[in-house]
């Protein structure tokens, strides 16, 4: 099966003996013990295709009584997206991030977070931020588990979970601060020690870029606070209020196939109330999903995915951040109304996709509620 635009699609069905040989070859190339089929293992190998270096991450695990399952993740560095491609619908977000990552800014510190569910493109956005940095003039140090893409002119450290003392996320962040980095990139904030150490790194003048699992931009702040120990909650929250620079919460939504989607007027597919919610006029042209599909979209009616972004950008001077601290302590939803805070809602992105004919208005209404 291939995962295409988020869905698993059956492609090949091989005989058991052919599959066994293929499994052995893949595990050998990935440096795994191909005689052991009972314990989970991870490895990697690479190949060159049409002049592009492709890295393949291999995860092996047992299946049922005596079977085996392999999952391959293909990482093509040439496929990484830049700011212009990612944020074409969000120019104000691109401009804000570019200012934060400008080579002229040094010693300001700050925390930049990408949040969202698994498979929402957080790592792609994080790497886009790294690509935006002038890595010849500024020292970028990343701490990842595992390292997904090798980045030129950047220092990359691999976390060794549990197997080696001093190689966890928090240990490596503390060690990183002694290597004079301008930017510290943390693969994921997943525990108390990592969050506390990352806040200390931001406070000491390093720009910290990381990802975290959360459903909304505001909930990202709540999730960070949930990692803070009770006895240091107030001081850690104050540091967070001083250092947070932006939060990008994202989803990837399937876009309609323009070869077969149905072109229609807004009034023919949604109610007057729904049109008001989506910011549509009755005579606006929209597109609806064609469930029969066509050859181009493999009879699904959808082709490709688009970024649906919720952004919380904070440009408030440090001397005026007391209201942000009080909002974090009492009602985090108040933060979007504070001075210097600009907020791009997910609903704005949905309206844009519907008007461009990339999303069915009915799906748009569902995404509005989500």
List the structure tokens of 166: 């001093």
* pLDDT tens digits, 268-315: 988 889 899 999 998 999 999 999 999 998 888 999 999 999 999 999
Spatial contact of 305 and 5, defined as CB atoms under 8 Å apart: yes
Give me the phi and psi of 76, to 5 degrees please: -115, 110
Is 101 a residue whose pLDDT tops 90?
Answer: no
Average pLDDT over residues 216-222: 93
What is the per-residue pLDDT for 335?
93
Helices marked H in 166-208 — which ranges? 169-176, 192-203
Average pLDDT over residues 175-201: 92
* pLDDT tens digits, 315-353: 998 889 999 999 999 999 999 999 999 999 999 999 999
* pLDDT tens digits, 224-275: 999 998 899 999 999 999 999 999 999 999 999 999 999 999 999 888 898 9
- How many beta carbons lie within 10 A of that of residue 323, not counting itself? 17
Q: How far is CA 73 from CA 41, 58, 80, 218, 275, in A?
A: 14, 7, 15, 31, 41
Q: Is the pTM for the entire model greater than 0.85?
A: yes
* pLDDT tens digits, 38-49: 889 999 999 998
Is 165 a residue whose pLDDT tops 80?
Answer: no
Which of 248, 315, 311, 249 lies closest to 108 in space, CA to CA?
Answer: 315
Is 107 a residue whose pLDDT tops 60?
Answer: no
- How many beta carbons lie within 10 A of that of residue 128, not counting itself? 21
Whole-angstrom distance, CA of residue 298 vs CA of residue 284 = 28
Spatial contact of 297 and 259, defined as CB atoms under 8 Å apart: yes
Angle in degrees, 0-180, between the axes of helices 361-369 and 346-355, rounded to the nearest 10: 180
With bands split at pLDDT 50, 70 and 90, how would you rate the model's confidence at 370? Answer: low
* pLDDT tens digits, 61-70: 998 888 889 9
With bands split at pLDDT 50, 70 and 90, how would you rate the model's confidence at 83? Answer: confident
* pLDDT tens digits, 144-160: 988 888 888 999 998 87
With bands split at pLDDT 50, 70 and 90, how would you rate the model's confidence at 105? Answer: low
Spatial contact of 328 and 244, defined as CB atoms under 8 Å apart: no
Is 51 a residue whose pLDDT tops 90?
Answer: no
What is the per-residue pLDDT for 102?
82
């Amino acid at each position: 099966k291939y995962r295409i635009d988020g869905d698993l699609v059956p492609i090949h069905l091989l005989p058991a003996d052919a599959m066994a040989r293929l499994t052995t070859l893949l595990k050998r190339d990935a440096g795994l013990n191909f005689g052991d089929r009972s314990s989970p293992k991870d490895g990697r190998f690479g190949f060159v295709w049409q002049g592009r270096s492709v890295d393949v991450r291999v995860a092996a695990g047992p299946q049922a009584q005596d079977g085996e399952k392999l999952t391959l993740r293909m990482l093509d560095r040439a496929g990484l997206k830049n700011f212009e491609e990612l944020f074409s619908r969000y120019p104000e977000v691109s401009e804000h991030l570019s200012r934060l990552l400008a080579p002229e800014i040094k010693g300001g510190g700050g925390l930049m977070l990408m949040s969202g569910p698994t498979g929402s493109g957080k790592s792609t956005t994080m790497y886009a931020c790294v690509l935006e940095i002038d890595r010849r003039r500024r020292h970028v140090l990343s701490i990842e588990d595992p390292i997904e893409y090798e980045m030129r002119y950047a220092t990359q450290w691999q976390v060794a979970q549990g197997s080696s003392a001093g190689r966890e996320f928090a240990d490596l962040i503390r060690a990183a601060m002694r290597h004079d980095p301008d930017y510290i990139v943390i693969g994921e904030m997943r525990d108390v020690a990592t969050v506390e150490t990352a806040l200390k790194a931001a406070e000491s003048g390093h720009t910290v870029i990381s990802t975290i699992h959360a459903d909304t931009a505001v909930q990202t702040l709540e999730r960070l606070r949930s990692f803070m120990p009770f006895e240091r909650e107030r001081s850690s929250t104050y540091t967070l209020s001083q250092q947070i620079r932006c939060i990008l919460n994202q989803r990837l939504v399937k876009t309609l196939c323009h070869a077969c989607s149905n072109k229609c007027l807004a009034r023919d597919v949604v109610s007057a109330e729904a049109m008001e919610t989506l910011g549509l006029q009755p005579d606006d042209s929209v597109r609806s999903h064609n469930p029969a599909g066509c050859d181009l979209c493999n009879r699904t009616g959808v082709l490709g995915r688009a970024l649906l972004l919720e952004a919380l950008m904070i440009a408030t001077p440090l001397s005026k951040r007391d209201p942000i601290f009080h909002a974090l302590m009492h009602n985090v939803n108040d933060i979007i109304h504070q001075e210097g805070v600009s907020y791009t809602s997910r609903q704005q992105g949905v309206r844009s996709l519907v008007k461009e004919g990339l999303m069915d208005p009915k799906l748009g209404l569902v995404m509005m509620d989500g």
